[in-house]
Structure 1
Amino acid sequence: MTKTFGPETTTEDVLDGVDLRGKRILVTGVSAGLGVETARALAAHGAQVVGAARDLAKAEVATGLVRAEAANGGGLSLVELDLASLASVRRCADGLLADGRPFDVVIANAGVMATPFGHTTDGFETQFGTNHLGHFVLVNRIAGLMPAGARLVSLSSAGHRFADVDLDDPNFEHTPYVEFLGYGRSKTANILFAVEFDRRHRGRGVRATAVHPGVIQTELGRHVDPAEMAKATTDRPGFVWKTIPQGAATSVWAGVVAAGDAVGGHYCEDCHVAEISNDPTVRGGVQPYALDPERAQALWAKSEAMVGEQFSA
C-alpha cells in the first residue's frame, strides 16, 4: 500500500519500515537543527552518515543523539567544512576523494539566511557564496564518488520566491542589498543547481532534486528580528510552523524513499513534488524561473567562472 505523506509527516513516518543498512550518506550542516535530525534519522535506520560542519567541536556535542540512536549498523563520522571558504571546501572534497568510499546520497543541507551584508573568504556575497557556491564546488568535486543510483538533495526554500538569481550582479556590487533578496537569490540558485546537475548526471543514473523543508524555528533564523519573522509568516496564506522532525522529512523522503525518476530535476515540499505556480496566494509551489533549464545552464557557467573551476558531466 502506498503511504500518503504531507506537511505533518516526520522523518520517522517517512522511514517507517525502511532499512538503510549499507547506505553511505553525506549531510552538510550537522551542528544544529535540520542537519542533526536528518543525520539522526538516517543513522537510526542503518545508514553510515558522514556529517560535515564548520565547527567540529559544536558538531560533536550536537550529534551526541545521532550516535546514541544509531542502529542496525548505522553510525556517524564528522568532517570539517566551511562553505564560506573555497579552500576549506576543496580540502574537504580532497579528503573524501582520498578516502574513496562512495556516497549513495548527498544532502546539501547547510546554509545561512538573511545575513547582514558581507562577503565570504573569497569575496562572494555571503548568502550566495555560502548557500550556493560552496555546495556547487563540493558536490561537483565529489560527483565521481556518486555511483549509478545515487542522489543529490539540495535544500532550497519557499524563500526562492523572493528573487530569481541575478547573473549580472551576484555580489550586489550595483544592487542595493536587502537581506531576504539575497536569501531568495541563493535559494533559487539551489534549485537551479539541482536542475542542471540532474541533467548532466541522469544519463549515468545519478539524479538530483531540490527541497523546501518548511518554516522551522532553528538557528537559521538567528539574523532575523522575531517581530519581522512573525509578521512575514502570519501574513502568508496557509502558513504553518513545522517541527524539526517534520522539517527534515522532505529531505529524507527525497533522498532515500521517493523514486529517482519522480523527483529528479524537480522541487519538492511536504514529501511530494511541488506544482509550478507563481500565485502568491497559494501556500506551496515553485516559481517557473527556478526550474528553467536555460537559466540553470547559465547559472552553472557563471558559477564556474566565479570559482575558477570547470566541471564536466
Structure 2
Amino acid sequence: MSKSFGASSTTDEVLEGVDLSGKRVLITGVSAGLGVETARSLAAHGAYIVGAVRDVAKAKAATQGVLADAKATGGLTLVELDLASLASVRKCADQLLAKGDTFDLVLANAGIMACPFGKTVDGFEMQFGTNHLGHFVFINRMASLMKHGSRLVNLSSAGHRYSDVDLDDPNFERTPYTEFGAYGRSKTANVLFAVEFDRRHQQHGVRATAVHPGGIRTELTRHMDEALLQQRVDEVNKQNQAAGKPPFQWKTVEQGAATTVWAAAVASADEVGGRYCEDCHVAELLTHAEENLASGGVRAYALDAKRAEALWAKSEEMVGERF
C-alpha cells in the first residue's frame, strides 16, 4: 500500500484518488450513521448504491446528502429489508435475484446494539437474529449476484470480545441474558460468517472480511442508558491510564466508516480476506484475555475456522435453509 491510514483517517481521505465509476454496491442500513456516510463516500467516488433498509421513508430523508454528493455515475436506490423477519429477508433477496443486477461490493452494515431481551418475528434472540441470522440468509440468498472479484464486508465490533457464540443455546433459553453478552455473541458471529463465507467463495473470486468501525455516537447506542455508557468509557480510560495509553476518544462518523470503505475498496483482497480489520488495518490476534475494548485486537475464537464452519451449520439449522 502506498498510503498509510489509521484511527483518525476519514472516508474521504481513504478514498482519495479512487474511481468507483461503474461499481455497484449493496449496503444494509443506510438510514442513519455509518450506513449513510458509507453510501455517501462511495457514491461520491462514482459507485451506484442499493440501500436495503427497514424504514424506506426514513432512509429516503437521511440519504439526500448521498444523492447530492454523488458523481455522475453514482446514485442510490432503496429497497425494503427487515433483518428481524426472515420473510422480509427472503422477499428482498428474491426481488434482487429477479432483477438480476450484479454487485461489486456487499456491505452488511445494519445492526442493533445492547437492547433489552426480545425476539425476532421468527423467535430468535433479537441481536443474534438481526445482526447475524438476518444477514446470513440475505447474503447467502443473493450471493449469486456477487461478481468475480467482488467483496463482502461484515460490520462487527470490538464488542465481539465480550463473548463467543453459544451454539448450544443461541437464543438464551437456558443462559442468563445480558445486553452486552448477546451483542458480543452477534458480533463474533459476524466475524465467523465472514471467515466461512470467504473460505467457501474464494475459489470463485469472491472474498469476505469483517471490520470494527470504532466507538461512534450513532443511533446504535439508543438502547444504552447515558450513565451506563459513561461508566464504560470511564472503565476504558482507567485501563488506558494504567497501561500508559491515551484516553478513549469517540470517532466521528466519517472516521468510523473509513475502515469499511478501506476494507471494501482500497485494501487488497488477499490482505483482508477472512480477516478482522480495525482502524484501516488488519487487527492483531490477541494472545491473552484483554478486557480493554479500546486497545484493539481480535479474539482467536472469532477467526477459528472450525468454529466458523460450525456456526454456518447451526445457522442453517436455525433458519431451515441450506446454502
Q: Please, what TM-score do these two structures have when normalized by structure 2?
A: 0.95
* Consecutive unaligned residues in structure 1, runs of 5 or more: none
For the residue of structure 2 that corresponds to 1:153, the secondary structure is: strand
* Consecutive unaligned residues in structure 2, runs of 5 or more: none
How much has 1:155 moved relative to structure 2? Answer: 0.2
The aligned amino acid for 1:153 is V
The aligned amino acid for 1:83 is L
Aligned residues of 1:113 and 1:223 also touching (Cα < 8 A) = yes
Correspondence for 2:161? 161
Instruction: Give per-residue Cα distances to partners, 1:204-255, cap 9 Å, x unaligned.
Output: 1100000000010000000001111111123223522100000000000001
Aligned residues of 1:45 and 1:72 also touching (Cα < 8 A) = no
Correspondence for 1:146? 146
Correspondence for 2:305? 293
**1:182 equivalent in alignment to 2:191:** no
For the residue of structure 2 that corresponds to 1:150, the secondary structure is: strand
**1:250 equivalent in alignment to 2:262:** no
**How do residues 224-239 of structure 1 correspond to structure 2 at under 5 angstroms?**
224-236=224-236, 237=240, 238=245, 239=248
For the residue of structure 2 that corresponds to 1:104, the secondary structure is: strand
Instruction: Give per-residue Cα distances to partners, 1:177-226, cap 9 Å, x unaligned.
Output: 10000000000000000000000000111000000000100000000011
Runs of 4+ that moved beyond 6 A: none
In the alignment, the residues of structure 1 paired with residue 42 and residue 145 of structure 2 have an alpha-carbon distance, to the nearest angstrom, of: 19
Instruction: Give per-residue Cα distances to partners, 1:116-137, cap 9 Å, x unaligned.
Output: 1000000000000000000000
In the alignment, the residues of structure 1 paired with residue 82 and residue 290 of structure 2 have an alpha-carbon distance, to the nearest angstrom, of: 36
In the alignment, the residues of structure 2 paired with residue 20 and residue 191 of structure 1 have an alpha-carbon distance, to the nearest angstrom, of: 26
129-138 or 70-79: which moved more? Answer: 70-79
Aligned-CA RMSD value? 1.0
**How do residues 75-86 of structure 1 correspond to structure 2 at under 5 angstroms?**
75-86=75-86
Instruction: Give per-residue Cα distances to partners, 1:44-67, cap 9 Å, x unaligned.
Output: 110000011100000000001001
**How do residues 269-288 of structure 1 correspond to structure 2 at under 5 angstroms?**
269-277=278-286, 278-281=289-292, 283-288=295-300
Correspondence for 1:216? 216
In the alignment, the residues of structure 2 paired with residue 164 and residue 59 of structure 1 have an alpha-carbon distance, to the nearest angstrom, of: 32
In the alignment, the residues of structure 2 paired with residue 229 and residue 291 of structure 1 have an alpha-carbon distance, to the nearest angstrom, of: 28
Correspondence for 1:115? 115
In the alignment, the residues of structure 1 paired with residue 201 and residue 235 of structure 2 have an alpha-carbon distance, to the nearest angstrom, of: 40
Percent identity, please: 69
Q: Please, what TM-score do these two structures have when normalized by structure 1?
A: 0.98
For the residue of structure 2 that corresponds to 1:242, the secondary structure is: coil
Aligned length: 311
Correspondence for 1:173? 173
How much has 1:147 moved relative to structure 2? Answer: 1.6
Correspondence for 2:89? 89
Correspondence for 1:307? 319
